[in-house]
Amino acid sequence: MTEGEADIPKVDADSGEPAYVLDARRVGQIVDAAEIGALDALARLLAPMHPADIADLLEQIGAAERERLLRLWPTGFDGNVLSELDDGLREDVLAFVPQELLARTVRHLESDDLVDLVENLPDGQQRKVLGLLDNTARIAVEQALRYPEYTAGRLMQRETVALPVDWTVGEAIDHLRAASRLPDQFYHVMLVDPLHRVRGQVNIGRLMGSERDVRLDAIEDENFHPIPVTQSEADVAYAFNQYHMVTAPVVNTEGRLLGVITIDDAMIVQSEEAEEDFLRLGGAGESRPSDGVWETVRGRFPWLAVNLAATGLSAFAISQFAGAIEQIVALAILMPIVASMGGSAGTQSLTVAVRALATKDLTASNALRVLRREALAGLINGVAFALVIGLLGEVLFGVPWLGLVLALAMIWNMVIAALTGVLVPLGLDRIGIDPALASGTFVSTMTDVMGFVAFLGLATLILL
């Protein structure tokens, strides 16, 4: 066993440890080696690690530890590591990478990785990276950056394998063998006409398994879905998932081939979309573990301010029934139960609706059916919990009518919560606002206010 092999972690399927998670012991050894300046030990520990794992390491350790590591071993962080880093951290890491190393590594990146590397950098660093590229690569990246952000034009790689649609398998294979350079990874050959318009695509496996005299258009894939260059990244990821695609050509308005998108890029977009929705539903913005204190504060403060305004509305609703609360103190004790249950039910419906909108499973054609289902589910849950909480209210406070008020308010708020959990994201989506961005605040405010008004209003009518 070589020294390098000894450092590669072994996989134990029965260990119970999470798969593909950085080993805490190795992270500690790397941090300790950087702290004492042990360059040889550091190189030995980092050498067998995948660029994605090194990027995770840089994101997980503290800012001071990261700076020590980068200053000690700047040559270990190449373009592949940079392309794996979160955008917010990439700028800091670039400051420590020697220009000679950066020039050597970025020249080997595919165009889509280069675009991802530079698109969010400040102008100065962006010009620095672009200046290290040859003319062909620089022009390709600059052209990609002219497309709107979060579109297929930014996501695609311009390195493609395109062959005439009327060629045979033998001609295609001979051409590929003679080519001086091919993309590092490609799964399909694009078929184009003399005007470079895409007519189809052929899977590499089927190409290699066919007779030499067979025409390429005779073995083209049936699963062929060209992507317009201005298509949103979210729609691209949806298309890959919906149609089980591995590769898709990117075309302009005339149907001419501009580049290709592969499944790895689509998976990254899909993962980022899901992460973004999750963070927005929680009001955490785009917070990452590597963010500093002030970055975290700036991301969360606006949503906390919105929430403060929403709770102010709830407080105003409660203030309208101050007299009833003064006469029956039990109302103050019990009313949070109604609001909390409504909030939980609303969050359940909201989460399902937002995800269904993102995956295009909730549309105008089935919205009424989904709304009816959620209302009935809210009604049934409301009745079930109303029986429990109504009996509890009567037993604890000895006021039979109080239990009835509590039960009716529970039923009302659970139905309202279920309806708003669907209607709010649907409405926001209809007017062009991301449902994940603002739905949570609207739904929680609605369930709180309606819960308080229902409970205290019924109490005023029935008990006073």
- Record the tokens describing residue 291, joined without a space: 């963010």
CATH code at position 453: 1.10.357.20
Domain-located, residue 7: yes
CATH code at position 192: 3.10.580.10
| 446 and 300 part of one domain | yes
Domain-located, residue 157: no
Boundary (domain end) residue, out of 90, 121, 146: 146
The per-residue pLDDT for 3 is 42
Domain-located, residue 276: no
The per-residue pLDDT for 5 is 41
Range of the domain at 303: 293-463
- Record the tokens describing residue 6, joined without a space: 């000894």
Domain-located, residue 189: yes
| 108 and 208 part of one domain | no
135 C-beta neighbours (distance < 10 Å), count? 7
* Residue 292 identity: G
- The 3-state DSSP class for residue 18 equals coil
The structural domain count of the chain equals 3
Domain-located, residue 285: no
| 319 and 427 part of one domain | yes
Inter-axis angle of helices 63-72 and 39-46, nearest 10: 100
Domain-located, residue 193: yes
Backbone dihedral region of 49: left (phi > 0), alpha (psi from -120 to 50 degrees) or beta?
A: beta
| 120 and 56 part of one domain | yes
| 173 and 201 part of one domain | yes
Positive or negative, the CA dihedral 258, 261, 262, 265 is positive
Could you say which residues of the chain have pLDDT below 50? 1-13
The per-residue pLDDT for 282 is 61
- 30 Cα distance to chain centroid: 30
Domain-located, residue 430: yes
* Helical segments of 119-262, H only: 123-131, 135-145, 152-155, 169-178, 204-208, 233-243
| 166 and 142 part of one domain | no
- The 3-state DSSP class for residue 251 equals strand
Model pLDDT for residues 270-299, shown as the tens digit of each residue: 887 776 766 666 655 565 655 667 766 776
| 237 and 180 part of one domain | yes
Phi and psi angles of residue 395, each rounded to the nearest 5 degrees, phi first: -65, -45
| 189 and 255 part of one domain | yes
What DSSP string runs through 105-141?
A: HHTTS-HHHHHHHHTTS-HHHHHHHHHTS-HHHHHHH
Q: How far apart are CA 317 and CA 50, in angstroms?
A: 57
The per-residue pLDDT for 9 is 45
Domain-located, residue 445: yes
Residue 331: Cβ-neighbour burial (10 angstroms; 0-12, 13-18, 19+): buried
Model pLDDT for residues 171-193, shown as the tens digit of each residue: 999 999 999 888 888 899 999 99
Contacts of 244-251 spanning 24+ positions with Cβ under 8 A: 246/187, 246/188, 247/186, 247/187, 247/188, 247/201, 249/160, 249/190, 249/198, 249/201, 250/152, 250/153, 250/156, 250/226, 251/197, 251/198, 251/226, 251/227
